[in-house]
A and B are shown apart, each in its own frame.
Chain A
Amino acid sequence: MPKRTDLKKILIIGSGPIVIGQACEFDYSGTQACKVLKQEGYKVILVNSNPATIMTDPEVADRTYIEPITAEMVEKIIAKERPDALLPTLGGQTALNTTVELDKKGVLKKYKVETIGANIKAIKKGEDRKLFKAAMKKIGLDLPKSDQADNLNEAISIAKKIGFPLIIRPSFTMGGAGGSIAYNLDEFKLLAKRGLESSMISEILVEESVIGWKEFELEVMRDLKDNVVIICSIENFDPMGIHTGDSITVAPIQTLTDKEYQLMRDAALACIREIGVETGGSNIQFAINPETGRMVVIEMNPRVSRSSALASKATGFPIAKIAAKLAVGYTLDEIPNDITKSTPACFEPAIDYCVVKVPRFTFEKFALADNTLGISMKSVGEAMAIGRTFKEALQKGLRSLEIKKFGLESIVFNNLEDMRIEKEILDKIYQKLKQPNAERIFYIGDAFRAKLDIEAIHDLTKIDRWFLHNIKEIIDCERELIENKNNITHELLRRAKEYGFSDRQLAKILSLDETVVYDLRKSMNITVDFKLVDTCAAEFKAHTPYFYSTYEK
């Protein structure tokens, strides 16, 4: 299908100020969309209140309004500009909410503005918990079990039916009092009573807890001809219970067989079709019970998201750019793959490396803030790293955070050669593993240094044993380096580099100067190799020079 010629002017809503939970990823996606639509010959009208964005550079859109992103203001802009269409799916949650409000006020109808990408019905179906639940039930997808109660007896009978632990969510609370978790009936009675009291309509939602389950995400794209492809699969290092934005995440999925992955893929395809996102990207989250394999759908974002930016850079597939093209009528097979140029964008990227995203926290700037992690997001940013092994990508990611850690270094032990594993230290490690927090990844390293085993750490953190095994290999390698400090072999140094140890980190471990490590490495001919990100695992020639470093020569 060629692009639509009935549209001339398209309005794009930006994401507004950067806040925790919504950073520059929507500037990235919005800018891509503006550029693409302009190239395609459309007139692009942009509204965004944030001056520190690329999209508000005067040459990006045809007309830019630096105004508050409210339905009132956007209405005025629509009245003045009279756009034919509104593309709401590239400016994050703010854009989506504003669009829904414009529709509610009748503005879109009044000025005959068509929403492209996702229509209002799809946005509501994806965002409204009740509608989403009904939609998923209709296509036979499993969700966490839940039911509503307006009195304690009813709540108790629901609790008995579902089983513990349970999450209690009061409906319509004053001041947004959140949910609580009950692990047994006594706790439940107390918390349910409190929940009913705090709800303005005396109603609570009792929901099966999936805390500790494995968490996954799929980035999905669909075109007007109903072609659907998965751009990227993501596995969370941190299990359910920690906001995805605060979790270390890994692409692609590491611990599912193809049978299990394909069931998830089928579910994602069914989900985007049922919700009715006509074109563009969506993000769908799943949880899997690690003991039984039961898979449930957690949520769906009918728009590009934080994960889309990650998925784009992790695979080389420009999600926002393609989403904008799909919104104006192109189909996936009509758009060339930017990187190979010879193959179409209608495919699923194959990657031949491992990508790790690590969240960046700034608790040091807020002395009184609680640095434990839960279901609301606290990180302020993130770093992504690519390596040929998970170990390499993780260590690169940690040193990219700029928190004076040059890899998976110790947080409690000052001297690795003379570690005193005292009771207070062990207690602290236990506590830091059990209660998710911003520094937990470093405490996991220290737990291995203190000779805890994979099972013990898994029991405390519920982090998958495969990830823990990889961290243990990093720590074992560090131990080997310390023990052979005066006799570093080629094999050992090369392995350390393959595991992502930086020269600076090695210098500290070996009590050497960084330049000495560098020279030693050079003398052993262990040098950096730059490999290409090419969307196709080297199957086709790549034309875009996008690289990552690794040690493999």
Chain B
Amino acid sequence: MQAYLVLEDGTIFKGRSFGASGEALGEVVFNTSMAGYQEIITDPSYSGQIVAMTYPLIGNYGINHEDAESRKPFLEGFVVKEYSKLASNWRKDQDLGDYLKENNILAIEGIDTRALTLHIREKGAMKAILSTLDSSEQSLVTKAKKSRGLMGLDLVKEVTIPKKYVYWQSKENKYKVVVLDCGVKLNILRELKRLKCNVTVVPAWTTYQEILKENPDGVLLSNGPGDPAAVGYVIKTVANLIGRLPIFGICLGHQMLGLAFGGKTYKLKFGHHGANHPVKDLRTGKISITSQNHGFCVSIDSLNKKNIELTHLNLNDETSEGLRHKKLPVFSVQFHPEASPGPHDAQYLFAEFLKLMQKSKKIKYAKTH
């Protein structure tokens, strides 16, 4: 079936559908990971976006039940050069095309994704429409233009879990983490489980009092979609948690911390979406190859340097990638230490979070005894 990808500036790509039929609107971005399309498709941070893969051959190893990053796909649409009609891998449970159809996600193949990427690189991320229904170019451009975009949009409320749940609990575990779910990737929870933490996941609108009632040793602020400036209610919660217990923020979690500290965020031209970005830990000089997925960034100059320290720097474009409070047990990173997809180089940050919780617990114990 013929399908169209039309950008708000009137650029038109014709291709073939290999997913669901219908129409989908979103901001079109490109991702440079060569593997890991399943993790990308199921990452809630892509809510509101149409993702184009720069690697041309997609679907090669199918979809399996183990590698999903959330309960369902959250992106608006998927764009590739060539979809493989045959998937080959010993863990394969399903073909990618069938999976997308089942989950009502539009997907298009036969697109010159390099031309599309160059266009986005030059002009910036922009609103777009994917359609298998409409072939009137003019009407498609109008629809793309009219779509909501990302600025000022609270997408967190669309992806967070509706009710609190216990992800993992064991009597032997010493620490309890509450994860504030703004669209959390499952590998964050798996990493906490690996470090033998009890993990409770709460919806994004949970108040700080409710979180403290859980009596956690630390709070993890998760990744998530959209504009960080649009989730004032979460930032308020975060601001109230600062100073009360250890906090670790990832991606959107990092941006919300930046805002809670009184800083500002801004939109990048086309964002960072890939698995090969070098990030330097300024405390050790060590470089990690990191997994990245963000369109917004914390302006480091907007933060009070007396209290806040820049800890990580992106070596490609020298944007800020991590911060910590100089006195309080609070730190965050813009990239994804949980990887999935991407290298495991930055996994050490979860251990740092654990250490912070150990230290805080000791201090708390000493105070009460």
A residues whose Cβ falls under 8 Å from a Cβ of B: 225-227, 229, 233, 252-262, 265-266, 290-293, 332-333, 342-344, 346-354, 388-390, 454, 464-466, 469, 531, 536-540, 552-553
The reply to whether B54 and A255 form a contact with Cβ atoms under 8 Å apart is no
A538 contact set on B, CB distance < 8 A: 30, 54, 114, 117-118, 121
Does A348 lie within 8 Å of B289, measured CB to CB?
yes
Minimum C-beta distance from A542 to chain B (A) = 10
| Interface assignment of B224: CB less than 8 Å from any CB of chain A | no
Known: A225-B285, A227-B287, A347-B289. A354 touches B67 (CB 8 A): no
Assuming A354-B57, A552-B112, is B67 touching A537 (CB within 8 A)? no
Q: How far is the CA of A189 from the CA of B271 in the complex (A)?
A: 63
Asked, given contacts A225-B286, A293-B90, A350-B33, whether A256 binds B280 with beta carbons under 8 Å apart, the answer is no
Q: Which of B73-130 contact A (CB under 8 A)?
A: 81-82, 84-91, 112-115, 117-118, 121
- Verify if B217 is at the interface (C-beta below 8 Å from A): no
The reply to whether B56 and A354 form a contact with Cβ atoms under 8 Å apart is: yes
Cβ contact of B90, chosen from A262, A292, A454, cutoff 8 A: A292
Complex: A412 Cα to B175 Cα, angstroms:
69
Q: Which of B57, B113, B121 contacts A389 (CB 8 A)?
A: B57
B93 CB, nearest partner CB in chain A, Å: 12
What are the residues of chain B within 8 A of A265 when measuring CB–CB? 343-344
- Tally B residues with Cβ within 8 Å of A: 53
The reply on B60 being an interface residue by CB < 8 A is yes
CB distance from A226 to the nearest CB of B (A): 8
CB neighbours (8 Å) of A225 from chain B are: 285-287
Q: B276: CB under 8 A from chain A?
A: yes
Q: How far is the CA of A352 from the CA of B342 in the complex (A)?
A: 17
Please give the distance in Å from B219's CB to the nearest CB on chain A: 27
Known: A352-B55, A465-B88. A257 touches B67 (CB 8 A): yes
Residue B207 lies at the interface, judged by CB distance under 8 Å to chain A: no
> In whole Å, how far is A387's beta carbon from the nearest beta carbon of chain B?
9
B287–A293 contact, CB under 8 A? no
B34 within 8 A of A: yes
Q: Measured between C-beta atoms, what is the minimum distance from A480 to chain B in Å?
A: 15
Say yes or no: is B277 at the interface (Cβ < 8 Å to chain A).
yes
CB distance from B277 to the nearest CB of A (A): 7
Beta-carbon contacts of B213-244 to A below 8 Å, as 1s and 0s? Answer: 00000000000000000000000000000000
Q: A258-B67, A353-B56, A537-B55 are in contact. Are A346 and B287 (CB under 8 A)?
A: yes
Residue contact B88 to A469, C-beta cutoff 8 Å: yes
18 further interface pairs, Cβ-Cβ under 8 Å (given A353-B56, A552-B112): A227-B287, A253-B34, A255-B88, A258-B38, A260-B89, A333-B315, A347-B277, A347-B316, A350-B33, A350-B34, A466-B86, A466-B87, A531-B114, A537-B54, A538-B114, A538-B118, A539-B30, A539-B32
The residues of B with any CB-CB pair to A shorter than 8 Å are 30, 32-36, 38-39, 54-57, 60-61, 64, 66-67, 81-82, 84-91, 112-115, 117-118, 121, 274-278, 280, 285-287, 289, 315-317, 339-344
* CB-based contact A255/B60 at 8 Å: yes
From known contacts A257-B61, A262-B342, infer whether A389 and B39 are also in contact, taking CB-CB under 8 Å.
no
In the bound assembly, the distance between CA atoms of A473 and B55 in angstroms comes to: 20
B67 engages A291 (CB within 8 Å): no
Q: Please give, as numbers and ranges, the residues of chain B lying within 8 Å of A537 by CB-CB distance.
A: 30, 32, 54-55, 114, 117, 274
Chain B residue numbers with a CB within 8 Å of A260 are: 89, 91
Distance between B279 CB and nearest chain A CB, rounded to angstroms: 10
Of chain A, the residue at the smallest CB distance from B34 is A252
A470 to chain B, nearest CB (A): 8
- Cβ–Cβ < 8 Å partners of B344 in chain A: 262, 265-266
Q: Residue of A at shortest CB range from B116? A: A538
| Complex alpha-carbon distance, A354 and B112, angstroms | 14
How distant is the Cα of A539 from the Cα of B33 in the complex, in angstroms? 12
Q: How far is the CA of A399 from the CA of B79 in the complex (A)?
A: 31
Query: Is the CB–CB distance between B114 and A257 below 8 Å?
Result: no
CB–CB B121/A539 < 8 A: yes
**A contact residues around B88 at 8 Å (CB):** 255, 464-466, 469
Min Cβ gap B314→A in Å is: 10
User: Across the interface, which residues of A come within 8 angstroms of B55, CB to CB?
Assistant: 252, 350-352, 537
